[in-house]
Amino acid sequence: MDITQREEKGVVVFSLNGRIDNDGATKMEQTLQSAAEAGKSKMVLDLSTVQYINSAGLRVLAEFLTVNREKGGELYLSAVNSRVKRVFQIVGFDNFFRMFDSTVDAVNAF
Amino acid sequence: MTGKRSRQWQADLTSLAEIRAFVESCAKTLGANESQTSDVLLAVNEAVTNSILHGYGGAGLVRVEVDRENGQLCVCVADQAPPFDPTQHITPNINRPLDECGLGGMGIHMMRALTDEIVYHAPIEGGNELTLKKNLSEDV
């Protein structure tokens, strides 16, 4: 999985491309933690080109969201396709993550 | 039964892509639609990943059998790892806040939610057989 990042209005936007499987989850965890350690707390994950997420990916996102919130930060998800959104709904995570139709909306929500 | 297909792979995460392709091909042949196939692929991925990472924790073999029985797509994931019955695993309480609900068992929860029935069997000769069943017709 490829991850690129940029900053918009003080919000770090990560664009993920590919499958969030075990390897992808590890890469995503490292990327998010690096940003957190660099003092970033407002983050958006653009999932527009992610077609798949497994339980390892969900676990990483949930754990990171929990820790980040304890530090006053937030992590929003944007452009989540229906298949990935269904996985979030299945495990009940759609209640915990704020999802936006577009990355622009997510950034503006901070 | 309608033409059971079976293949075996090394218990390694690099085998997952081939296993998914195998199951996807079989599922379509056996009449699963896109949504049913997608759900089963996610569930099988979790089952095989559990076997590889938590069952063996090292070298071994994973056998995957796909069949259609009584209007259900049945995918059996078999290994020779120490016996473990995931159907006895407690489902995480997803109605509680994330920091309270505990995130263990997420894969098993996904398997349950994505399929209609999960059957575990411990063969007398050892290992595990976990069969994931997905209804293909409304009259099941």
pLDDT in tens, B9-48: 999 889 999 999 999 999 999 999 998 999 999 999 999 9
Supply A32's token pair: 């998010």
Rounded to a whole number of angstroms, the distance from the CA of A19 to the nearest CA of chain B is: 11
Contact B136, B74 (CB under 8 A): no
Helix axes A22-37, A55-70, angle to 10 degrees: 10
Q: Is the pLDDT of residue B139 over 50?
A: no
CB–CB of B46 and A21 under 8 A?
no
Rounded to a whole number of angstroms, the distance from the CA of B24 to the nearest CA of chain A is: 15
Beta bridge partners of B121: B129
In chain B the domains, ranked by start, together with CATH numbers, are 5-135 (3.30.565.10)
Rounded distance, CA A46 to CA B137, Å?
A: 36
* Average per-residue pLDDT for chain B: 86
| pLDDT score, position A70 | 85
Rounded to a whole number of angstroms, the distance from the CA of B69 to the nearest CA of chain A is: 26
Which pLDDT band holds residue B72 (cuts at 50, 70, 90)?
very high
Contact B64, B130 (CB under 8 A): no
Which pLDDT band holds residue B105 (cuts at 50, 70, 90)?
confident
CB–CB of B94 and A92 under 8 A?
yes
Task: Return the residue of A nearest to B34 by Cα.
Answer: A83
**C-alpha dihedral (A17, B104, A44, A86), degrees to nearest 10:** 70
